C-alpha cells in the first residue's frame, strides 16, 4: 500500500465519497467518509408516467434536474460539515432505454424497466431463439429488456430510429455530459440483453438482429473504472469542483446486493421497495436451465444472480387502496390481525405483469380461494404472503443449498412483521440492513475498492455493522403452513392464465 505523509492523511480524512443512486421513485445521494461513516444524505422524488396502457416512462430532462438538485444539496451539506467532495460513485436503475440524436440529446422519453410495450417483440425473440439467447446473455427474454424495446421502436417509431445516432441509458447520458465519453458499466450493458457474459462485451449476433451497430453503443467498462470530470455546464450546475473523480459504478440491483450481503454466497439478499428482488453473489455466471434468473457482472470474478419481481410495495399500495386503508404501513398492521395462511385465501401479485420467474408482461393477478368467512384482514395478509411467496419462487432457481441467512433491505424491510413472514416462508433467519440505502452503500464500497484495494477486506466488518441485531427466526409451525400454501401458489399462474 502507498505510504502517505501526515498532511496527505489529514487531507484524506476530510474527503468524502458521494454515492449517487438514480432510482425509479427517487434520486438519492449519501456522503461517506473513507471509513464508511455517513455524514450527509439528500434525496428528491422522481415521477413515473403512464400516459397509455403498457407505457411506463420518465422525462429524462426532469430526471436530470433532480440529479442536479440532489447533488447541489448534498454538496452544501458536505461543505457545511467541513468535508471536501472528492469522489462520486454511481448507481442507477437497469433496463431503461433512451435513443439520442446527433447533438447527444434524447429523442424519446425514458422507457423504464416497467414499460411493457415490447411484449410482442419479446415473444418473438423467445419463439425464434429459445434459450440460446439466454445462454449467451444470462438475461431472461422480457419486454423490460432494451433489446426488446429497440425492436419495438424500430417497428412503431421508425422515424425516431432513423434519427438515432446513439443508444443507451439515462446513466450513460449523464456520464457523457460529465466526462465527454459514451461509456457504460458492465452490469448496465448486461441488462440490455445484448451483452455476452462469456466475452464480457457486446454480442455481435444480437446487435445484428436488433440492427444496432457498435458505433451506436457505449464502450463497456468494469464497475471500478474511474473517469475524470470535464468542465461542462452540467458539472458546473451540479457544483463539481476541480479534480472530482467518478467511479462508473453499476446498477442499483447489483449494488444493493453488494451493500446488503457483500460477497458472501451463503447470504440471500431480498430487496423490497417499489418492486422487489432476490439476489445471491456467485463466483461465476450462474445460468438457470429454465431461464428464470439473471446473472450480472459485479466486480472481478464476482457476479450477482437472481430475479426481480414487479410485486413489491407498488402492488401492496394498490391492495391498500382496494381495502380502503391509508397506506402500506396500515395494510401491514391490518394483515397481522389474520392468521398465517389467511384462512385459505391466496393472492397472485401480478397486477403489473411479471418479471421473474415467468416473465410475462401480460400476467394478471387477483385473490383466489375466498369464502364468506374472509374479510379485509385476511385479504391484507394474503397480499403480503403472496409477495413473499413470489420471492420464494424466484429463490428456488438459485443455489439455495448453500444459504444460511437472509438480509433484507428496502422500505418493507423496516417492518418486523414483514421480516417474520419472510423468515417463515423461506425457513431462514432474517436480518434487516441497517443502511436503508443499500445501493448507495454498494456504490461507496466500489469506490473504496478503487482507491484502497488492499483494504477491501474491511468490507466484511462494514457488512457486519450494516445488519440490525434483531435476527428473526423462522417458526416451524408457520413455516409448515407456508410450505403447503407455496405448493398451491405455484399452480396459480397456470390456473389463471391457461385456457380452460
Range in 326-330, 377-381, 412-416, 446-450 with the lowest mean pLDDT = 446-450
How confident is the model at residue 56, as a pLDDT?
95
How confident is the model at residue 171, as a pLDDT?
98
How confident is the model at residue 5, as a pLDDT?
33
* Nearest CA-CA partner of 368 in 390, 343, 388: 343
pLDDT band at residue 325 under the 50/70/90 scheme: very high
Mean pLDDT, range 356-368, rounded to an integer? 89
Quote the Cα angle for 470-471-475, to 5°.
Answer: 125
Residue 146 belongs to some domain of the structure: yes
More confident residue, 458 or 350: 350
pLDDT band at residue 468 under the 50/70/90 scheme: low
Give bridge partners of residue 305 from the DSSP assignment. Answer: 280, 295
Same structural domain, 46 and 186: yes
* Nearest CA-CA partner of 20 in 77, 114, 93: 93
Alpha carbon of residue 471 to chain centroid? 24
Same structural domain, 178 and 226: yes
* Nearest CA-CA partner of 440 in 207, 91, 161, 169: 91
Residue 200 belongs to some domain of the structure: yes
Continuous segment of H or E residues that includes residue 200: none
Same structural domain, 248 and 266: no
Same structural domain, 238 and 331: no
Domain count, the chain: 2
* Nearest CA-CA partner of 423 in 385, 376, 394: 385
pLDDT per residue over 472-484, tens digit each?
999 999 999 999 9
- Mean pLDDT over the full length of the chain: 91
Mean pLDDT, range 118-124, rounded to an integer? 95
Is residue 458 predicted with pLDDT exceeding 70?
A: no
Residue 452 belongs to some domain of the structure: no
Same structural domain, 399 and 427: yes
Same structural domain, 167 and 316: no
Same structural domain, 23 and 57: yes
pLDDT per residue over 263-315, tens digit each?
889 999 998 988 899 999 999 999 999 999 999 999 989 999 999 998 999 99
Residue 441 belongs to some domain of the structure: no
Residue 458 belongs to some domain of the structure: no
Same structural domain, 101 and 249: yes
Residue 443 belongs to some domain of the structure: no
Range in 373-377, 416-420, 431-435, 478-482 with the lowest mean pLDDT = 431-435
Residue 1 belongs to some domain of the structure: no
Range in 128-137, 215-224, 265-274 with the lowest mean pLDDT = 265-274
CB-facing half-sphere around the CA of 331: CA atoms within 13 A: 24
Is residue 465 predicted with pLDDT exceeding 90?
A: no
Is residue 461 predicted with pLDDT exceeding 70?
A: no
Is residue 12 predicted with pLDDT exceeding 60?
A: no
Residue 336: give its domain's CATH number.
3.30.420.40
Structural domain ending residue among the three candidates 253, 279, 305? 253
Residue 442 belongs to some domain of the structure: no
End-to-end C-alpha distance for the chain, whole angstroms = 67
Is residue 190 predicted with pLDDT exceeding 70?
A: yes
114/276 Cα distance (integer angstroms) = 12
Is residue 456 predicted with pLDDT exceeding 80?
A: no
Same structural domain, 329 and 218: no
Residue 35: which domain range?
6-253
Structural domain ending residue among the three candidates 253, 274, 303? 253
Is residue 241 predicted with pLDDT exceeding 90?
A: no
Same structural domain, 273 and 398: yes
pTM, rounded to two decimals: 0.89
- Strands (E) in 70-126, as ranges, are 84-92, 98-100, 110-111
Range in 48-52, 381-385, 444-448, 449-453 with the lowest mean pLDDT = 449-453
Compute, in degrees rounded to 10, the torsion defined by CA atoms 62, 63, 68, 72: 110
* Nearest CA-CA partner of 384 in 340, 354, 436, 322: 340
Q: Which residue has the cell 457483500?
A: 262
How confident is the model at residue 497, as a pLDDT?
65
How confident is the model at residue 372, as a pLDDT?
97
Same structural domain, 222 and 307: no
State percent of the chain over pLDDT 70. 92
Give SS3 for 353: strand
More confident residue, 163 or 438: 163
Contact 290, 486 (CB under 8 A): no
Q: Residues 406-423, buried b or exposed e (16+ Cβ, 10 A)?
A: bbbbbbbbbbeebbbbbb
Contact 267, 406 (CB under 8 A): yes
Grid cell locating 489: 401458489
Same structural domain, 424 and 322: yes
Structural domain ending residue among the three candidates 253, 284, 307? 253
Amino acid at each position: 500500500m502507498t505510504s502517505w505523509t501526515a498532511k496527505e492523511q489529514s487531507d484524506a480524512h476530510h474527503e468524502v465519497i458521494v454515492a449517487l443512486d438514480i432510482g425509479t421513485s427517487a434520486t438519492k445521494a449519501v456522503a461517506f467518509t473513507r471509513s464508511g461513516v455517513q455524514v450527509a444524505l439528500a434525496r428528491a422524488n422522481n415521477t413515473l408516467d403512464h400516459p397509455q396502457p403498457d407505457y411506463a416512462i420518465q422525462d429524462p430532462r426532469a430526471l436530470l434536474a433532480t440529479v442536479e438538485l440532489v447533488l447541489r444539496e448534498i454538496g452544501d451539506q458536505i461543505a457545511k460539515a467541513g468535508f471536501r467532495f472528492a469522489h462520486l460513485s454511481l448507481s442507477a436503475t437497469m433496463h431503461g432505454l433512451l435513443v439520442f440524436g446527433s447533438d447527444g440529446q434524447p429523442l424519446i422519453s425514458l422507457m423504464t424497466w416497467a414499460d411493457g410495450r415490447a411484449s410482442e417483440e419479446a415473444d418473438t425473440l423467445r419463439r425464434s431463439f429459445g434459450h440460446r439467447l439466454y445462454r449467451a446473455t444470462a438475461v431472461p427474454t422480457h419486454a423490460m429488456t432494451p433489446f426488446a424495446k429497440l425492436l419495438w421502436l424500430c417497428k412503431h417509431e421508425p422515424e425516431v430510429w432513423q434519427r438515432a445516432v446513439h443508444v443507451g441509458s439515462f446513466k450513460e447520458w449523464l456520464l457523457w455530459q460529465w466526462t465527454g465519453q459514451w461509456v457504460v458499466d458492465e452490469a448496465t450493458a448486461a441488462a440490455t440483453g445484448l451483452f455476452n457474459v462469456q466475452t464480457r462485451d457486446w454480442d455481435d449476433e444480437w446487435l445484428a438482429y436488433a440492427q444496432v451497430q457498435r458505433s451506436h453503443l457505449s464502450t463497456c467498462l468494469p464497475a471500478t473504472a474511474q473517469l475524470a470530470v470535464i468542465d461542462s455546464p452540467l458539472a458546473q450546475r451540479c457544483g463539481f469542483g476541480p479534480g472530482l473523480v467518478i467511479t462508473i459504478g453499476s446498477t442499483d440491483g447489483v449494488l444493493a446486493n453488494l451493500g446488503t450481503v457483500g460477497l458472501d454466497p451463503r447470504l440471500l439478499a431480498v430487496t423490497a421497495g417499489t418492486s422487489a428482488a432476490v439476489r445471491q453473489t456467485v463466483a461465476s455466471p450462474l445460468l438457470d436451465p429454465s431461464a428464470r434468473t439473471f446473472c450480472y457482472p459485479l466486480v472481478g470474478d464476482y457476479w450477482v444472480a437472481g430475479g426481480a419481481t414487479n410485486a413489491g410495495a407498488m402492488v401492496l399500495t394498490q391492495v391498500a387502496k382496494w381495502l380502503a386503508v391509508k397506506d402500506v404501513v396500515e395494510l401491514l398492521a391490518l394483515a397481522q390481525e389474520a392468521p398465517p395462511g389467511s384462512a385459505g385465501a391466496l393472492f397472485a401479485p401480478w397486477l403489473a405483469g411479471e418479471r421473474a420467474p415467468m416473465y410475462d408482461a401480460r400476467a394478471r393477478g387477483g385473490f383466489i380461494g375466498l369464502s364468506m368467512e374472509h374479510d379485509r384482514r385476511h385479504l391484507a395478509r394474503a397480499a403480503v404472503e403472496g409477495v413473499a411467496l413470489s420471492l420464494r419462487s424466484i429463490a428456488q432457481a438459485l443455489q439455495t443449498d448453500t444459504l444460511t441467512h437472509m438480509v433484507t433491505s428496502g422500505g418493507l424491510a423496516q417492518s418486523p412483521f414483514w421480516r417474520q413472514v419472510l423468515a417463515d416462508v423461506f425457513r431462514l433467519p432474517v436480518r434487516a440492513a441497517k443502511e436503508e440505502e443499500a445501493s448507495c452503500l454498494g456504490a461507496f464500497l466500489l469506490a473504496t475498492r478503487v482507491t484502497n484495494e488492499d483494504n477491501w477486506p474491511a468490507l466484511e466488518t462494514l457488512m457486519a455493522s450494516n445488519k440490525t441485531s434483531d435476527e428473526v427466526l423462522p417458526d416451524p409451525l408457520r413455516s409448515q403452513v407456508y410450505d403447503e400454501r407455496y405448493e398451491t401458489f405455484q399452480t396459480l399462474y397456470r390456473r389463471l392464465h391457461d385456457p380452460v
